[in-house]
Structure 1
Amino acid sequence: LIDGQPSRLIGRVSMDMLTVDLSELPAAGLGSRVELWGKTLLASDVAAHAGTIPYQLFCNLRRVPLLYSEG
């Protein structure tokens, strides 16, 4: 999700980066909030779509600062 709006990936994951299509989100750009998974987009759904399990997604995060919150 980009600023709470769904977007689609373009191409393949390259190293630890990915490219998203912002053509339907003209207000999005540098500084936009990006959610890979969370309350709206469940990790289990993302994992199922990728043909894996949530644990594998979490273990593959490397350089991303993690923000923990009670919720």
Structure 2
Amino acid sequence: MDTKSVWTEFQCAVGSLPPQMRACYLLHDMLDISSADIAEMLGISPAACLHHVDVARRQIVLHFGPDAHAASNTH
């Protein structure tokens, strides 16, 4: 899979997440904002924020399929 295809698939995977989960994932993993700060912004608990991030990560991996996850562990 070429870089453009990976980026397109990543955008699709992130775009398919529910809005609050997508916000938690992007703010936490892409912008490195703390779960406490995100929780305050979104009116949820820090634990709920981290749960959203964890589920989002798993959903993104599933979007690419098990072969993509196995290949990422070889690099």
TM-score, length-normalised on structure 1? 0.35
Greater per-residue strand proportion: 1
Greater per-residue helix proportion: 2
